Amino acid sequence: MSDVDCIIVGAGLAGLACARELSKAGRSLLLLEAGDCPGGRVATDRVEGFQIDRGFQVYLEAYPEGRRQLDLAALQFGWFEPGALVVDGGRLREVSDPWRRPWAAVKSLLSGMVGVGDGLRTSRLRSRLLAACRAGSLDPQLPGVAGERSTRAFLEANGFSEAFIARFFNPFFGGVFLEHGLETSESIFGFTFAMFALGRAGLPAGGMGAIPTQLAATLPSGSLRLGARVESIAPGHVALAGGESLSARSVVVATDADVAARILPGMVPAPRAWKSTRMVAFAAPKSPLDRPILVVGSDDSGTIDNLSVPSDIAAGYAPPGAALVLVTVRPECTLSDVDAVLAAKREAVKLLGAGAQAWEHLKTVHVPRSLPDETPAARRLRPASPRVADGLFVAGDWCTSASINGALVSGRLAAEAVLSERG
């Protein structure tokens, strides 16, 4: 038996954020995590002196909830340059942010990468989305709207050319959404676009796993229990694998949607489909890029979906005298892991020069359950409130939006619901 105000199941970002809010409000809590470290889908492994995140992820500087909950200065972020180098017809071409790198944006126009019409449409879209963001009407935490469209339908309705969608929006936001049809809802696109426009994308010095580590460090000692897998739940009671039973006045289930549906049968919507990702990490003698920028692939036939050099961005990703290169493999690629490594290297040699021949494979990371489906139809299935029964609550990115910001928001909302029920 435990004697705490609240048990939280799952120490991903949502569970950690919930625990932090409850602890700040003076509530006693126990955070139960099945795995061997906090962070869930945000984790970093150490391999031969390199820091390898479990799947390519970035933190967006403008995330409002991150500003609220994280000590960003202590995380010592390094930042990507705005924009991207797009692989187009086997060559690298720049798409730049005209508000932050005007001269580079002029070059994008001159190179034909961005037509004048699409440039103007992007400018109008940016103003509209930033105004909506400031007015609070762009919040992806708002309930799903019946008439919400896919990102692709939204871009087409806004007059963007097929060529620009294929050359920029699809590779860049497809990489963020881990899909290539731009089926993700327009509200997620709008918020993400605004976040990229308002700030930079970055990596913390300790790897992405430093974010949950920082949150976990704010909790009272002894409140996080690792290796504690919850098997079933009834209001006020939690049963662990192994037979132990714990009780508390409130229970928050902050797992992913599949686990929540299993341990809270009939209380939460059916789980949504997952999007998966495969990332290959290489050790390189030096960075293949001359600046800290993301490379995204737009060639349908290629293996490389995106390529980054985290050691150019933040300290700690590679040992001295080496660089870490990450390649996210296109979701459609059916090559075996061994062949995907060879194909990625071959493509890198063509794009970035013969130096890529010296890259050594460090690790291939598979994340089969990366992001829940965020089509407009899937988003309408989100729970209406974190409270699913008396004393029972849910949190997780599937309740809000599939991002670091969304997971942090959902944890805070669940904590607020616990506090308002229990006073």
Would you count residue 88 as binding ligand FAD (CB under 6 A)?
A: no
Of the candidates 230, 281, 295, 307, which one interacts with ligand FAD according to CB under 6 A? Answer: 230
Query: How many CB atoms within 10 Å of residue 398?
Result: 31
- Residue 100 has φ and ψ, to the nearest 5°, of -110, -25
Segment lying near ligand FAD (by CB under 6 A), choices 18-26, 33-41, 112-120, 154-162:
33-41
184 binds ligand FAD (CB under 6 A): no
32 counts as binding ligand FAD under rule CB under 6 A: yes
User: Angle at CA 385, nearest 5°, toward 375 and 41?
Assistant: 55
- Tell me if 229 contacts ligand FAD by CB under 6 A: yes
Stretch that binds ligand FAD, among 32-40, 83-91, 318-326, 340-348 (CB under 6 A): 32-40
Nearer to ligand FAD, 102 or 227 (CB): 227
- Residue 407 binds ligand FAD (CB under 6 A): yes
We find the least distance from the C-beta atom of residue 399 to ligand FAD, in angstroms, to be 8
Q: Which parts of 74-142 are beta strand (E)? A: 77-79, 84-88, 91-95
Q: Which is nearer to ligand FAD, 119 or 199 (CB)?
A: 199
SS3 category, 61 = coil
Q: Is 234 in the site for ligand FAD (CB under 6 A)?
A: no
Long-range contacts of 172-178 (CB under 8 A, 24+ apart): 172/84, 172/86, 172/95, 172/296, 174/305, 175/296, 175/305, 175/306, 175/328, 177/151, 177/275, 177/371, 177/374, 178/275, 178/276, 178/277, 178/331, 178/370, 178/371
The least CB distance from residue 365 to ligand FAD, in Å, is 8
11 forms part of the interface with ligand FAD (CB under 6 A) = yes
175 contributes a contact to ligand FAD by CB under 6 A: no
Nearest-Å Rg of the Cα atoms of the chain is: 22
Q: What is the smallest separation between the CB atom of 117 and ligand FAD, expressed in angstroms?
A: 30
Cβ contacts of 70 within 8 Å, gap of 6 or more: 211, 214, 215, 408
Query: Minimum distance from CB of 318 to ligand FAD (Å)?
Result: 20
Tokens of 333: 């690629």
**Residue 40 beta carbon to ligand FAD: minimum distance, rounded to whole angstroms:** 2
Q: How far apart are CA 134 and CA 329, in angstroms?
A: 35
Query: What string of DSSP letters covers 330-379?
Result: PTT----HHHHHHHHHHHHHHHH-GGGGG-EEEEEEEEEEEEE---HHHH
Q: Using CB under 6 A, which of 58, 294, 323, 409 touches ligand FAD? A: 58
Burial of 208 (0-12, 13-18, 19+ CB in 10 A): buried
* Minimum distance of ligand FAD from residue 47's CB (angstroms): 17
- Asked if 41 is part of the footprint of ligand FAD (rule: CB under 6 A), the reply reads yes
Among 125, 259, 296, 414, binds ligand FAD (CB under 6 A): 259
If one asks whether residue 10 binds ligand FAD (CB under 6 A), the answer comes out as: yes
Residue 125 in contact with ligand FAD, rule: CB under 6 A = no
Asked whether position 215 contacts ligand FAD by CB under 6 A, the answer is no
Per the listing, tokens 């031969």 go with 48
By CB under 6 A, name the binding residues for ligand FAD. 9-15, 32-35, 40-42, 55, 57-58, 229-230, 254-256, 259, 277, 367, 370-371, 396-397, 402-407
